[in-house]
């Protein structure tokens, strides 16, 4: 069955960078877009962007350009999101998500979420 | 960006009730509207895609409808396990955007 397993909670200092991982199992990793979504309490869900592992193609929400960088390792079926210049505004939960292949642009499987805390 | 509005932030209903959750978009999204359920532990699942198509494994008491800028999710015969927050999301145009969520509680 399709599963996305994210890395554990992180505690980082302001100004640092962090890399969150998302290991995919149960499907052909190269063929599906991996999405990254941010959830702030009281602010709902926000789309950060996406990567297609097979080609390395990416799309970013303009709001997160310069903040987030996506990569993928097809040998280990793992996607990564690096967040740079961390501030308290980055202290939220991040999800990796698989986008369905049919062109209807829905997110059919979600990781369990990774909590990032930025504090000095 | 397409704005997504879920005007009801929380909703209280009784077990066995029929519940409808609404979502309005700032422009026509041609039925590219999806619904998700988030449980209190943070687990998120796809319920409905493309307005009315039921995702694999989702109980048939969930249904979706709508067109243009107005969409809704209906849960018939509410069960305890349906206690969650429900989000809509548009897949018509990048950047993908989500509604702010409707939290469903038992009366």
For B76-106, the pLDDT digits (tens) are 999 999 999 999 999 999 999 999 999 999 9
The answer to whether A24 and A4 have CB atoms below 8 angstroms apart is yes
Q: How far apart are CA A82 and CA A96, in angstroms?
A: 12
Query: Is A43 a residue whose pLDDT tops 90?
Result: no
Within chain A, how many helices (H) and strands (E) appear?
0, 11
Q: What is the model's pLDDT at position B64?
A: 98
DSSP B69: T
Backbone angles phi, psi at A33, to 5 degrees: -65, 140
Q: What is the model's pLDDT at position A104?
A: 83
Residues 69-88 of B with CB under 8 A from A: 87
Q: What is the model's pLDDT at position B23?
A: 98
For all residues of chain A together, what is the average pLDDT? Answer: 96
Query: Is A58 a residue whose pLDDT tops 90?
Result: yes
Q: Which two tokens stand for residue A33?
A: 């877009």
Q: What is the model's pLDDT at position B59?
A: 97
**pLDDT tens digits along A15-38:** 999 999 999 999 999 999 999 999
Q: What is the model's pLDDT at position B8?
A: 96
Task: Give the model's confidence band at A112: pLDDT under 50 very low, under 70 low, under 90 confident, else very high.
Answer: very high
Q: What chain A residue is nearest to B102 in terms of C-alpha separation?
A: A44
Find the mean pLDDT for residues B8-32. Answer: 97
The answer to whether A107 and B46 have CB atoms below 8 angstroms apart is yes
User: A61-85 b/e with 16+ CB inside 10 Å = b?
Assistant: beebeebbbbebeeeebbbbbebee
The answer to whether A47 and B97 have CB atoms below 8 angstroms apart is yes
Q: Percent of chain A beyond pLDDT 90?
A: 91
Q: How far apart are CA A99 and CA A76, in angstroms?
A: 19
Shortest distance between the Cα of B84 and any Cα of chain A, in A, equals 13
Shortest distance between the Cα of A115 and any Cα of chain B, in A, equals 11
> Tokens 């995919």 — which residue?
A24
The answer to whether B50 and A112 have CB atoms below 8 angstroms apart is no
**pLDDT tens digits along B30-79:** 999 999 999 999 999 999 999 999 999 999 999 999 999 999 999 999 99
CA distances from B62 to B53, B76, B85 (A): 10, 7, 14
Find the mean pLDDT for residues A85-92. Answer: 96
Find the mean pLDDT for residues B8-27. Answer: 97
Q: How far apart are CA A3 and CA A13, in angstroms?
A: 30
CA distances from B60 to A84, B52, B55, B67 (A): 43, 11, 10, 21
- B37 has a chain A CB within 8 A of its CB: no
DSSP A69: E
Q: What is the model's pLDDT at position A74?
A: 97
CA distances from A25 to A2, A22, A58, A103 (A): 6, 10, 21, 21
Q: Do B44 and A100 touch (CB under 8 A)?
A: no
Find the mean pLDDT for residues A28-50. Answer: 93
Q: Write out chain B residues lying below 8 Å of A104, CB-based.
A: 32, 49-50, 53, 91
Task: Give the model's confidence band at A101: pLDDT under 50 very low, under 70 low, under 90 confident, else very high.
Answer: confident
């Amino acid at each position: 069955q399709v599963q996305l397993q994210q890395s554990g909670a992180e505690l980082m200092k302001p100004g640092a960078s962090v890399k969150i991982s998302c290991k995919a199992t149960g499907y052909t990793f190269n063929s599906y877009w991996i999405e990254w979504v941010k959830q702030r309490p009281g602010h709902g869900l926000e789309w950060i962007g996406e990567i297609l592992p097979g080609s390395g193609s990416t799309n970013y929400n303009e709001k997160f350009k310069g903040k987030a960088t996506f990569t993928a390792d097809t040998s280990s079926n793992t996607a990564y999101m690096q967040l740079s210049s961390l501030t308290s505004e980055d202290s939220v939960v991040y999800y990796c998500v698989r986008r369905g292949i049919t062109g209807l642009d829905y997110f059919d499987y979600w990781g369990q979420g990774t909590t990032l805390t930025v504090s000095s | 960006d397409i704005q997504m509005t879920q005007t009801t932030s929380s909703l209280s209903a009784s077990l066995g009730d029929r519940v409808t959750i609404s979502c309005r978009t700032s422009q026509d999204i041609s039925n590219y509207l999806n619904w998700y359920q988030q449980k209190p532990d943070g687990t998120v699942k796809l319920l409905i895609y493309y307005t009315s198509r039921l995702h694999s494994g989702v109980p048939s008491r969930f249904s979706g409808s709508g067109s243009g800028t107005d969409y809704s999710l209906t849960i018939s015969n509410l069960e305890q396990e349906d206690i969650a927050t429900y989000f809509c999301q548009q897949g018509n145009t990048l950047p993908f955007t989500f509604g702010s969520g409707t939290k469903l509680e038992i009366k």
